[in-house]
C-alpha cells in the first residue's frame, strides 16, 4: 500500500486536525499509519450511514477518540477507525491484515466476534440470568486473548448509547437493557469507571425515564446552594492541607443518577437521606499522605459513625482503592469525602487500561500479567457480579 507521510502537503486536513487533538504522544511512524488508516476508512465508508442516522466515518472517529482517551496504542486507534469495514462492503479481515497488519486485523476480528454476544443476550428471556451470565463469560474469554478487543467493544457501545435518542422506543429499550446487563458490568469488572458510569446512566435514562427525570430534577434543585457549600468546604480543606505540607488536589465529585437510585433501593433510603449527594475528592502523592489527609478531615469535621471504608488496606475485587468517609459539615449537613493517590485515581478512572498504558514499551510487566491472570479466573465463576459494587 502506498505510503504518504503526515508531513506531505497531500495529507487530509481533517486527519491533521483530528490527530493534533488526540491526548496521546504519537511517533511519526504511528501517525503515518493512522493517516493511512484514515484514508482507507474515508474511501470505504464514504457517505454511508448507520441505523442511528450518523455517518459511519463519524462513528469510527468517535470510537477512536474514546480509545485515545483511555491512552491506548496506535493499533487500537486504527482498529477503532476500521472496525466497521468488513460489515459495510469494505475489505474483509484477511485483507485488512495485508493492508494494515495482522495485529489490527485481529482486533477487528475480535470486535466482530464479540458482537455476536448481542444475539445471545437477545435469545434469553427477561428472567434468564444464566444466558446473560454465559454471554458475559464469553465476552471475558474474548478479552483474555487480547484485552484491547474489549476496550474497542466498550468504546463502540458507548458511542452507540450516546446516539440512542435517535432510535425508536423499542430499540432504545432493547439496547439499553443489553447495555445494563452486559456492557456496564463488563466495564465494572475491568474497573473502567468513566465508561461504566456513563453506560449505566444512559441505560437508566431509557429504561426508567420517569425515575431518571425525578432524580435529575432533585439533583438540580438547590444545586447552586450545594455547590456554594462544597466550595466553602473545599477552600477550608485546601488551606488546612497546605498548612500540613500535603501536596493535594481537592475537587467536587460528580453525581451519577443510576448509582444514586441503586443506593436508594439497596438501603431503603429517600433521596435526601443519602450521604454522598455532597461529596469531595482529595488526590495526594502517596499512601501515607492519604491517611494524613484522612486524619486532617476528621479533625476539621465530625465523622459520621459507620460511614468509613478503607479500600486501600482492603481493595475491592476489581482492584479499586480509596479511602471513603462521611463527615458532618456546617449546619450538620453530611458530606462524603474520598481520598486516594493520583495513581489510584487514574486506576479508578481507566481500570485495566491504566495497566496497559504502563505496560506499553516495557515488555513484560508482572502487574499487568497478574491482572490478566486474575481476569482469566473470572471465567471460572457463573455469576456476573454487581455492577454497582463501588461508588467512586
C-alpha 344/C-alpha 368 separation (Å) is 15
Q: Are 111 and 153 in contact (CB under 8 A)?
A: yes
Q: Is 108 helix (H, G, I), strand (E, B) or coil?
A: helix
**Predicted pLDDT at 125:** 53
Q: Where are the domains of the chain?
A: 13-213, 217-343
Our measurement of the distance from residue 31's CA atom to the centroid of its chain's CA atoms, rounded to an integer in Å, reads 25
For residue 248, CA distances in Å to 11, 231, 272, 337 come to 43, 16, 30, 14
Please state, as a whole number, how many other Cβ atoms lie within 10 Å of the Cβ of residue 386: 12
CATH tag for 13-213 (out of 3.30.70.100, 3.10.20.30, 3.55.10.10, 1.10.3210.10): 1.10.3210.10
pLDDT at position 361: 45
Q: What is the mean pLDDT, run by run of 10 residues, along the chain of 392 residues?
A: 40 87 88 94 93 93 94 93 93 94 93 77 60 65 73 94 93 92 83 88 96 90 80 93 95 83 86 76 96 96 92 85 91 88 81 53 54 55 40 40
pTM of the model: 0.77
Cα(140)–Cα(138) distance, integer angstroms: 5
Pull the grid cell for residue 180.
445494563
Residue-level pLDDT at 39:
94
**pLDDT for 255:** 75
Instruction: Please tell me the predicted confidence (pLDDT) of residue 390.
Output: 36
Cell of 290: 492519604
To the question of domain 217-343 being in CATH 3.30.460.10, the answer is yes
Amino acid at each position: 500500500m502506498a505510503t504518504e507521510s503526515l508531513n506531505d502537503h497531500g495529507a487530509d486536513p481533517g486527519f491533521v486536525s483530528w490527530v493534533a487533538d488526540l491526548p496521546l504522544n504519537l511517533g511519526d511512524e504511528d501517525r503515518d499509519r493512522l493517516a493511512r488508516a484514515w484514508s482507507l476508512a474515508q474511501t470505504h465508508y464514504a457517505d454511508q450511514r448507520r441505523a442511528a442516522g450518523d455517518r459511519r466515518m463519524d462513528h469510527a472517529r468517535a470510537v477512536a477518540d474514546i480509545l485515545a482517551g483511555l491512552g491506548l496504542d496506535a493499533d487500537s486507534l486504527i482498529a477503532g477507525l476500521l472496525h466497521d469495514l468488513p460489515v459495510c462492503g469494505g475489505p474483509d479481515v484477511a485483507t485488512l491484515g495485508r493492508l494494515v497488519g495482522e495485529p489490527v486485523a485481529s482486533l477487528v476480528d475480535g470486535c466482530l466476534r464479540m458482537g455476536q454476544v448481542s444475539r445471545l443476550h437477545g435469545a434469553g428471556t427477561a428472567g434468564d440470568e444464566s444466558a446473560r451470565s454465559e454471554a458475559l463469560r464469553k465476552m471475558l474469554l474474548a478479552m483474555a486473548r487480547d484485552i484491547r478487543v474489549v476496550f474497542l467493544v466498550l468504546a463502540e457501545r458507548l458511542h452507540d448509547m450516546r446516539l440512542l435518542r435517535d432510535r425508536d422506543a423499542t430499540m432504545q429499550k432493547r439496547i439499553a437493557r443489553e447495555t445494563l446487563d452486559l456492557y456496564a458490568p463488563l466495564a465494572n469488572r475491568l474497573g473502567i469507571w468513566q465508561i461504566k458510569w456513563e453506560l449505566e446512566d444512559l441505560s437508566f435514562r431509557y429504561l426508567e425515564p420517569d425515575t431518571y427525570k425525578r432524580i435529575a430534577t432533585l439533583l438540580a434543585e438547590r444545586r447552586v446552594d450545594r455547590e456554594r457549600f462544597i466550595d466553602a468546604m473545599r477552600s477550608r480543606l485546601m488551606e488546612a492541607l497546605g498548612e500540613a505540607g500535603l501536596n493535594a488536589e481537592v475537587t467536587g465529585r460528580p453525581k451519577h443518577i443510576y448509582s444514586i437510585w441503586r443506593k436508594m433501593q439497596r438501603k431503603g433510603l429517600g433521596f435526601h437521606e443519602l450521604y454522598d449527594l455532597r461529596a469531595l475528592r482529595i488526590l495526594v502523592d502517596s499512601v501515607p499522605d492519604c491517611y494524613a489527609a484522612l486524619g486532617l478531615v476528621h479533625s476539621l469535621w465530625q465523622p459520621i459513625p459507620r460511614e468509613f471504608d478503607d479500600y486501600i488496606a482492603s481493595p475491592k475485587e476489581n482492584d479499586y482503592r480509596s479511602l471513603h468517609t462521611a463527615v458532618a459539615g456546617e449546619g450538620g449537613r453530611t458530606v462524603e469525602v474520598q481520598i486516594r493517590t493520583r495513581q489510584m485515581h487514574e486506576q479508578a478512572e481507566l481500570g485495566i487500561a491504566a495497566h496497559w498504558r504502563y505496560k506499553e514499551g516495557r515488555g513484560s510487566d508482572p502487574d499487568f500479567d497478574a491482572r490478566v491472570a486474575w481476569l482469566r479466573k473470572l471465567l471460572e465463576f457463573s455469576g456476573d457480579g454487581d455492577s454497582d459494587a463501588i461508588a467512586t
